[in-house]
Structure 1
Amino acid sequence: MAGTISKTECPVQDAFSSIEVSGRKPPLQSILNTYDFERVAARELSRKTWAFYSSAATDMITRDANKAMYDRILLRPRVLRNVKKASTKTKILGCETGMPLFVSPAAMAKMVHPDGELAIARGCAKYGVGQCISTNASYSMSEITSCATGHPFFFQLYINQDRVASEKLLRQAEDCGFKAVFLTVDAPVAGKREADERVETDDSGVVHTAPMTGAQGVSDTKGGGLGRIMGKYIDASFCWEDLKWLRRSTKLPIVLKGIQTAEDALLAMEYGVDGIVVSNHGGRSLDTSTSSISVLMEIRQCCPQVFEHLEVFVDGGIRRGTDILKAVCLGARAVGMGRHFLYSLTYGQEGVERLIEIMKDELETTMKLLGITDISQAHPGLLNTLDVDHMIPKRLGGSYSGPVVKARL
């Protein structure tokens, strides 16, 4: 199958590999990391579903850079500390959570498992992991939130060309108890995801419909790209000044998802939003854009005051508990994971729970080996970033090697 990860990308034990060769789905207890889940998903999902979720824009350079940059940031463990017990608990937008991790929004989880977002919600509720629900989810808001009353749900919003339709969704989000609105700002148009375009909409001819928007996934003359086709309702004219309309339209905290420069992080602060997600849409929008963790470092270097005024989150490239802690050390309140929650959904709710258990265990182990016992103790001094520091702008507008160019906010 095109796009299936290689053995070098997915280190697994021989026992796991032998089960795969036999054609049987590996037992859940044999899954030890996110790479295992991805390997199973590559084989179990339909060609269309795998292409839709695993693909990224054009040459997928940004998708791969998101992970590669984490690997170049090293840890600096401190020893002889009492690390018998460690707590991964934190707060996201005032909500108590079991760890600094939330589910990033992804469309149509029902393509992976019949319970879709419902199974993810139930699994997350068990461990206190927040969930951001996509505008293009395969279930309605009320259906999802009823699975876990009181659990921290966030609503991801694409602005509809019909503003009234968006206002209606915002009211529903408030009525259903959502804790914040995550406005996606990095996809005014869909990126060119060629693997998704090459595969027809569905092998069986089934049309996928998002109940909140009515958007349908069907092939057209350009191909079968679900993201492109289902996103035709999105208002590409929405700009900074329009945030005033959004603030009038909801009482919920507003988080901008898709900040990719220090300049825009500073603008977000000036426009008075409540938080930002440093994100490049998992590399699915503009290829060769900067990796998410690099942008987080850029913000810390060029405008550290942002962290004092906003809650800063980051997604893209998170595969290990070490990745979570590296992001937190650099100032992130929490990190988002998207694809791998979908991959874990091949096992239903139990798969979601298994993924959270793995990430929590890896995070706790990392904390103890670093010599800290609480998320609040994470700080940049626990990292060695010298291998990548030369890639991070030292001032606003400092990403260009030619004559000094004044940053344009």
Structure 2
Amino acid sequence: MPQTISPLELSSHNTLGSLWIAIDGQVYDLTEFAPNHPGGLSVLLQHAGKDGTAAYNAVHSPSLLQSTLPVSKHIGRISSPLPAPSTSTSRLSLTAPKPPLSSLISVNDFRLAAHTFLPPKTLAFISSAATDCITHRRNSTAYSDITLRPRVLVDVSAPVSLKTTILGQQVSSPIFVAPTSLGKTVHPEGEREIARACKELGGIAQVISTSASFSVSDVVQAALDHPIPAGGETGTGANVPVFLQLYVDKHAPNTEALLASLTSPDHLNDDNQQQSANKIKAVFLTVDAPVPGKREADERVPTDNPPSSPAAAAATTTPMATQLTPTSDSSGSALGRLMASYISPSLTWQTTLPWLRRLLPRSVPLVIKGIQTAADAVLAARAGADGIVVSNHGGRSLDTSPATILVLLELQRCAPWVFERVEVFVDGGITRGTDVFKALCLGARGVGVGRAVLYGLGYGREGVKRVLEILNAELVTTMKMCGVTSLDEIHAGLLNTRAVDHLVPNSLSEEHPYAKWRRAKL
């Protein structure tokens, strides 16, 4: 006979550790399933310990849970009718408390914690990826397919220094903050708070998006004004090298004015004269998003229309990009798509790079962000780029594009000379220090982290700092376990890539066999 569950017992299972929901009178244990819920963890937490029938039936077949959830997770029937869910607000309050920062010991912990307290729209914007999220998942899983080859009986007692240079700038770690948009939707201080954390860590490089919530000048000033903590490092390494991630505006003069404002000296007093020299140290031209990707999780969660308050409006505008307030349309409500209408889709190798090079002082490196093939890496090197970022926009642009670590492998196989010509960076899927180590083994100069930093930003400066400290500590542990104590000692021989080698092209011009056959027939 099925177990009978009282409403009081159901209501006690309302946290991440024990999450029950009643649907059509049946009680289900979704604790293990919740972190992998395609619609996000937050919607399950909204209904944890309650009746979720209306929300479930609005998007799912009534039989789906019966056929997909193991029988062991079918707890029983509710003993008496539950009160109808409140419909007075579109955003139900979350019942789980914000986990204490001290309890989070991995990047994944921060991801799960963020699902308990970030607003649904913010969470959807951060975590969403293109269409079926295949590339987003592969960015991470490809790292796990590559295994380490540790060397033993090596003296690793010497302290490990992660200090290096990125585009000529001294940094305290090869890990840098990848560009993300609208940081203010996560924390009122947004990118400024990230800069403060980077400074406290001795100078982590930060890339500021054109679609950030604060201007580059605001972020730089926040870092300059922030005191170095007691016992922290001083000198140039304590400053935050700031780079600009550039989306080229359809109206070219807007981009020209932006770059001029970030590379021309200001009228400053003597005390702040260093600010003009520290505005941007490089420009990262974004080339993998000529049009916005279809991020369905973000499309499904409606925006406030109009914004519920001046603060809400301020959190969804960008100071360097065209000033827009997002409103839903017939395609949905994705912030990324609704706010990207200013981005030019007409960039080319022949015109865009020479144009930008003329606009920038020679001292400001130009980096091409969004390289997804070795062939384009070669074009970037031959076009005079100072660096490239192997990136697929965190899986947010084109689904089923290759995992970024596989593109590094392709570059090693097909055009290894590129690593000597330009500085190569990579982002996407980085959740562990072992991931950073593997990317460095395959030639990356620096490794970008985006989503993890935003999850940390939910706790402010201390949260961002803790995320980066965790990754740094895991990287040091990995290095010592593999028998190295210096970044210079890291090499590809410390990896076994055979599980993914068959996915990597053998030449720059490799074609599918069918294409060769068809061309021969024609």
TM tier, shorter chain? over 0.9
1:294-329 per-position Cα deviation (integer Å, ceiling 9, x unaligned): 011101100111101000000000000000010000
- Say whether the 8 Å CA contact 1:99–1:129 is kept in structure 2: yes
- Say whether the 8 Å CA contact 1:155–1:173 is kept in structure 2: no
Which residue of 2 is the match for residue 211 of structure 1?
319
Which residue of 1 is the match for residue 250 of structure 2?
161
- Say whether the 8 Å CA contact 2:96–2:116 is kept in structure 1: no
1:94-147 per-position Cα deviation (integer Å, ceiling 9, x unaligned): 111111111111110000011100110000111121100010111122111012
Which residue of 2 is the match for residue 69 of structure 1?
142
Which residue of 2 is the match for residue 140 of structure 1?
215
Cα distance between partner residues in 1 of 2:443 and 2:376: 17
Match of 1:199 among 275, 279, 301: 301
TM-score (norm 2): 0.73
What amino acid is aligned across from residue 231 of structure 1 in structure 2?
Answer: A
Cα distance between partner residues in 2 of 1:336 and 1:202: 31
SS in 2 for 1:313: strand
Cα distance between partner residues in 2 of 1:363 and 1:138: 30
> CA distance change for structure 1 residues 162 and 403 in 2, over 3 Å: closer, same or farther?
closer
SS in 1 for 2:498: coil
1:352-389 per-position Cα deviation (integer Å, ceiling 9, x unaligned): 11111101110110010000011111100000111111
- Say whether the 8 Å CA contact 2:372–2:404 is kept in structure 1: yes
Give the Å deviation of 1:221: 2.6
1:272-303 per-position Cα deviation (integer Å, ceiling 9, x unaligned): 01000000000000000011000111011001
Cα distance between partner residues in 2 of 1:216 and 1:253: 32
Cα distance between partner residues in 2 of 1:268 and 1:223: 35
Which residue of 2 is the match for residue 117 of structure 1?
191
> CA distance change for structure 1 residues 164 and 332 in 2, over 3 Å: closer, same or farther?
same
Cα distance between partner residues in 2 of 1:215 and 1:131: 25
Cα distance between partner residues in 2 of 1:98 and 1:202: 40
* Matching of residues 234-313 of structure 1 within 5 Å: 234-241=343-350, 242-251=352-361, 252-313=364-425
Give the Å deviation of 1:390: 1.1
> Sequence identity of aligned pairs in percent?
51
1:37 aligns to 2:110 (yes or no): yes
Which residue of 2 is the match for residue 59 of structure 1?
132
Unaligned runs of 5+ in 2: 1-15, 17-32, 42-93, 225-238, 265-275, 518-522
SS in 2 for 1:51: helix
- Say whether the 8 Å CA contact 1:75–1:384 is kept in structure 2: yes
Cα distance between partner residues in 2 of 1:125 and 1:219: 38
Which residue of 2 is the match for residue 95 of structure 1?
169
The structure, 1 or 2, with the larger RCO (C-alpha pairs under 8 Å, 6+ apart) is: 1
Unaligned runs of 5+ in 1: 11-20
1:224 aligns to 2:299 (yes or no): no
Stretch of structure 1 that moved more, 339-348 or 390-399: 390-399
Give the Å deviation of 1:191: 0.4
Cα distance between partner residues in 2 of 1:271 and 1:343: 36
1:323 aligns to 2:396 (yes or no): no
What amino acid is aligned across from residue 60 of structure 1 in structure 2?
Answer: C
- Say whether the 8 Å CA contact 1:181–1:253 is kept in structure 2: yes
Which residue of 2 is the match for residue 152 of structure 1?
241
What amino acid is aligned across from residue 86 of structure 1 in structure 2?
Answer: V
What amino acid is aligned across from residue 223 of structure 1 in structure 2?
Answer: G
Which residue of 1 is the match for residue 44 of structure 2?
none
- Say whether the 8 Å CA contact 2:430–2:436 is kept in structure 1: yes
1:80 aligns to 2:153 (yes or no): yes
Cα distance between partner residues in 2 of 1:240 and 1:271: 8
Cα distance between partner residues in 2 of 1:361 and 1:317: 18
What amino acid is aligned across from residue 171 of structure 1 in structure 2?
Answer: A
Give the Å deviation of 1:394: 1.3
